[in-house]
Chains A and B, each alone.
Chain A
Amino acid sequence: MINELLLQFSEWLYATGGSRAIEESYYLYNWIETTHVLTIMICLGMLAFIDLRMLGYAMPNVPASTIAARLNVPMMIGFAIMFITGLLLFYAKPVYTNQSIWFRIKMVLLVVAFFNAIRFHRHMKASESTWSHEPRAPLNLRISAALSLGLWAGVVTTGRLIAYDWFHCYRDLPAWLGAAAGCVAE
């Protein structure tokens, strides 16, 4: 049911003029993709340094709260650019992307990363004054930081794999995988 609805929505999106214009433009599509990928440097670059600081591997002599607060701004700017270009990429290829198992895993990982970030911030705000100058954050924050690095590594990997159609609906897939990838019986 949900897969039918998502497919209908994707097909409707595919039929819009803007979607066709982006996908059919070599330069437009590829520059949106390039921006999406290059923003990894801003968004995930800052994220990696915040997480590495919590784990004690980067800038241990700079207060953790300073790193987290200062790098948060460029990270969110990068995230905004990534989010917008990501939406445009989906808009350009909605039917293909909706039925990509990698895209679907990527979305799940993003949701988990979102809740992990909220948990991280809550614990950080509650306790930072007591340990900010220590080289490593307390264990529960280190767990969040390690989880964040792992989740975003997963987001990058599954994001890259969207380009590959190894498990697409026109392949011979087991029923559970077909359902997970959003395939709909004709």
Chain B
Amino acid sequence: MTGSKQSGTIEKVAAVSAGAIIISAVVYWTIQVVGMLEFLEMAYG
């Protein structure tokens, strides 16, 4: 069945790209928050 094979490919692409986006977003915002906390620590001790 080509139909299900095709939908299998797009599902894999979707899962991988969605996973990559979720991980990048979490990493990006974690870096922002850590940077912010470090700055606050420097400023206020």
CB of B42 within 8 A of chain A?
Answer: no
A/B pair count, beta carbons within 8 Å:
3
How many residues of B are counted as interface, with CB atoms below 8 angstroms from the partner's CB atoms? Answer: 3
The answer, yes or no, to whether B26 is at the interface (CB within 8 Å) is no
Chain A neighbourhood of B36, CB < 8 A: 27
Number of interface residues of A (CB under 8 A): 1
Tell me if B23 is interfacial: C-beta within 8 Å of chain A.
no
CA distance A27 to B40 in the complex (A): 9
Note all chain B residues with C-beta closer than 8 A to A27: 36, 39-40
Q: Which B-chain residue is minimally distant from A25 (CB atoms)?
A: B40
A27–B43 alpha-carbon span in the complex (Å): 12
Bound together, the chains give a CA A27 to CA B39 distance in angstroms of 10
Contact digits for B34-45, partner A, Cβ 8 Å, 1 yes 0 no = 001001100000
A9 to B27, CA, bound (A): 44
Q: Complex Cα distance A139/B36, Å?
A: 52
- A130–chain B nearest beta-carbon distance, Å: 42
Which residues of B are in contact with A by a Cβ distance under 8 Å?
Answer: 36, 39-40
Contact sample, A vs B, 3 pairs, CB 8 Å cutoff? A27-B36, A27-B39, A27-B40
List the 3 closest A-B pairs by CB distance, nearest first. A27-B36, A27-B40, A27-B39
